[in-house]
Structure 1
């Protein structure tokens, strides 16, 4: 029987820390002689794996994902994945695959099958002629024999027919015909030998970006910041505090660990919450830090005549839970002063 070799492979999508990237939209292009011969589009499974990709000759596989080329874009597009480890282009080149050139074409297969059928028929005819010439059997009795599984009529020499039906030439010819299968595709499938499975693991590069906004969602651009990894006292972005961009955005901090942004309001250092980094296929690319500014106010009380003296700068209080700035009104300050003088 002929042999037909195929090589199977698949890609594994992972974050830098090893978590599987599930339900990621991807495309794989199979190239042979620098031409695309097949395109596969699908989603990764629960293990972050693509479907198995089979090739029957030397090929190059190129994989694209639907993601963001930079975290500052608003729309996903097809792109080579941004990787920390692994290659989105792999070459399949196995010596066994070159042997497939010897495998018969469909036309050659059809010719081979017709010859096998004729061979079986000729051997059967030859066996029947021997039976007819060496035994006293009528033509009617001979035709009643269904080769090779017929019941032997009582009037016929059992040993003679038994030996004829077990003719190794006939058995070999029938086996050769059976091995050819029902069709060319069936025969090709029976002849297929799968070579060792090839796995390519792609580790997607992780990063974090922050944006400062006010209570109405407008960018804040007057802050200075640094970015720190969890359990790391040294900043991973900006050794010294640096101003954000005009749109309130920080730079890109490449890290696979949870991280937080540190920024200043007045003379106060404020640390934001910890966030996990993202990769190019994640839907949310930028973590927003909301800083609200609230003004408290009251109506003047005409019955209060206590002079407050010269105008003073009002204190600003930062709510540590919401990062909201509270500017206290004069009446609240007055009440605090009166409370302190009554002691």
Structure 2
């Protein structure tokens, strides 16, 4: 039987596993991480994150099953500063209200772990993972486990003396890792679903615009983490001026100077506003470039989605600020931030260059 290059290619096509089931699974897990980020925002805004003071990855999946267990956890919570300074006297029923949100947040994290690890094992054992992706999928598993550990590292900082919330630095680390995990899951799933499109004449210039907008999106989100971490959104609740000034008084009052970037309320809020404005301008420029220079298709639609998502997020940010951070608006603002990141990644992925042959 003759055997040539065409026969070899056909045989490889028959033996290579279909990447679509793996891609859809990864995109489903990415959606779960998106929900997790929103739950984390609600947990933070309601002051629920410190209600569970034990790190119990297995036994903690079950809620308290007796009144004695409820009382034990409540007594444990009453030993930390947050209870004395924020929730003193709210009773066992008040404790249950904040407990359930934090417990749901942690349970959802456990479900994400199962939703990733079990299908990964099944795809692996059945030989359904496309060539070149095993190492990447294992790395994503490790990142998910690291995120759980960083979550507890963050929560533990809230038990320190005179603290009523977690360390803003650990909060930003936790948020940044969650966003990185979401981005990696989304990018990997998209890479399995669709091959790079043929480059268009204007692809390079639009890609550079999208890259600039994407980096500004990341910087704005991390700056927003510091706004959340030091509760800067509860001050200067006017827009566009801050206490009647463009740059607020006391912007650089801390020493050393770099602490103003992370610990000074007027500076942290101003920086977030500035980065958000630059992001909006860059995203609108990229959307305009995509509309004018790209042919109709997925990449063009993703550029327009990025422009629309950033405008929506900007409006939500202003509304959250002027209404003094209501829980539902703050949670929606955090969830929409992930939409903006997803839109930027969709646009970048749609404009990526095909790999050059070795």
Q: Same fold (TM over 0.5)?
A: no
Q: TM-score, normalised by structure 1?
A: 0.18
Q: Which has the larger radius of gyration?
A: 1
Work out which structure has the larger RCO, using CA pairs closer than 8 Å and 6 or more positions apart in sequence.
Answer: 2
| Structure with the higher strand share, 1 or 2 | 1
Q: Which has the higher helix share?
A: 2
Q: TM-score, normalised by structure 2?
A: 0.18
